[in-house]
Amino acid sequence: MAPAKKRNVSSKANVKKTKIDFESIVERILESRKHANDVFDVLEFLQSEKEKDVICVVDACCELFCTLLKRRDLFIGKLPGEDEAIKGEHSPDEKYKIFMRHRYNNCVEILLEHLHHETHEVKESVLCCLMKFAAEQGLHPLEDLDWSEYFSFPRELIQAVVHNILSQSSDNSLLISRFQEFLEMEDVRYYVMSFIRENVATVMNKSKGAVLPVYQSNVFTLMLNINMPSQESELTNFMVKQETKHEDWKAAKLHDHKRAFERMWLGFLKYKLPNSMYKKVLVVLHDSILPHMSKPTLMIDFLTAAYDVGGAISLLALNGLFVLIHQHNLDYPDFYKKLYNLLEPSVFHVKYRARFFHLANLFLSSSHLPVYLVAAFAKRLARLALTAPPTALLIVLPFIYNLIRRHPSCRVLIHKPSSEDELLKDPYVMEEVDPALCHALESSLWEIKTLQKHYHPYVAKAAMLINTPLSEQEDDISEVLEMTSYELMERDLKPTQSKSFPLEFETAAHLLEGRGEVLGQHFCLA
């Protein structure tokens, strides 16, 4: 092997070379060890400022070092320094392998830096190259260990890739979507989940828990791209197939996958998030996160913190708590108290009004709820209805009627026999935060009687229903949840179309020519 020339690998190459040139350089290096120093030209050009040149030489590096890994031409074991290798008592073959192993490490360092490149095409090409290196390292490990006792996997390289993908300064959502292809491999997915948890703990502790919008967005995007298997029999696609004890490998066990998945999410959600991210997490919580956790009830701390954010996030947090209560037997006695306190005048004017009443209808659908609780919700909604817009009233009134239908004991709110001590003051306490102490059952729904004089005819008509016995069939509020003021006005302006009533079994086309028409058989029009 020719003596190593000392060159500055970090210098920028300005010499114009074509793809064919690098293909020939790679072939020359692989054909004869005397051309080993030509690898410096490849590494210099890898740092070019031209995007096309970088992509070209990345492919050349991929071919070169993947071939060297397959040939076992890289030093295996604890790598000695280059100066130590030259001075030490190493054979020419070992010196060559040490030299090429150092060049391989240089290449990997440069490629990891390129994961922060401005151009997505460069980052994508680099990512694919690094994952090919990882696959070859898995098959041909660079550690000198007894692999009958250890599991072979390129942990350090994959960890470095994850660390650089989770940038704190640039949005890597496109690159992460490309990385999803590799997350379909069971062992890559398992170790990536562990590396995410470690990376989040390191970065967030360093920032003392401060919100890092870009970084946390990258982490969330990466975690969301992890598709968990539902059965252990699905764990068949591995980057590195272990020759021995494959069944004992944690990456081959569904239980360990779920545990890693759970620890990853809990480690991410224990820190404060940007408000917009709370909503993103809560929307996918019950479908994409809870089913794959070993202990879903551990999410209660996050859901409680999310409720304190307020607005739509509080409602979505209650939805998550509702899933935990009904599907995972969570004991959370303050659930309906928190829902009750979300009933404010602003709920009729926010974007998520339809979702709020849809979920509230779901939460209050059980017929086993205590009467005082249902009465408190009905009374609070009735009080809020006094200042609500017509579109909201067309939701609230049927909502209250449905509550009374499900709980006949609440009919006392509609009809209270008069007595000598006629109520001069409503005993209901609007400011009380606990529905058990608001005295709703001692009051009545006089607000609905008031709404019978509402200026909008549809509202007045809906309020008049309380004067008659309510039918057993519940009203379908789904049709009016999304109604806007514009649609309500359009309904008023449209001319009423008179319904057509069928008079004949067959529609007559001509006079006296209908089938079976007696007059048509004996008479005709001249």
Map out the domains of the chain as residue ranges. 19-145, 153-230+248-273, 333-493
With 70 as the cut, is the pLDDT of residue 345 above it? yes
Distance CA 425, CA 497 (A): 47
Q: Look at residue 507 in the predicted model and tell me its pLDDT.
A: 63
Q: Look at residue 517 in the predicted model and tell me its pLDDT.
A: 61
Residue whose token pair is 């300064």: 169
With 70 as the cut, is the pLDDT of residue 439 above it? yes
Q: Look at residue 77 in the predicted model and tell me its pLDDT.
A: 85
Q: Look at residue 4 in the predicted model and tell me its pLDDT.
A: 46
Least confidently predicted of 143-152, 320-329, 445-454: 143-152
Q: Look at residue 511 in the predicted model and tell me its pLDDT.
A: 62
Q: What is the mean pLDDT of residues 468-491?
A: 80
Distance CA 131, CA 162 (A): 11
Computed on alpha carbons and rounded to an integer, the radius of gyration of the chain in Å comes to 36
Contact 374, 353 (CB under 8 A): no
Among the residues of 207-244, which ranges form H helices?
213-224
Contact 100, 68 (CB under 8 A): yes
CA distances for 111 relative to 19, 46, 60, 286, 523, angstroms = 18, 8, 13, 38, 98
Distance CA 150, CA 140 (A): 14
pTM for the full predicted model: 0.78
Q: Look at residue 193 in the predicted model and tell me its pLDDT.
A: 95
Highest mean pLDDT among 77-86, 135-144, 195-204, 464-473: 195-204
With 90 as the cut, is the pLDDT of residue 91 above it? no
CA distances for 509 relative to 501, 505, 515, angstroms = 17, 13, 11
Distance CA 456, CA 452 (A): 10
With 90 as the cut, is the pLDDT of residue 126 above it? yes
pLDDT tens for 284-333 read 998 889 989 888 889 998 998 888 888 888 888 888 888 888 888 888 88
With 90 as the cut, is the pLDDT of residue 86 above it? no
With 90 as the cut, is the pLDDT of residue 497 above it? no
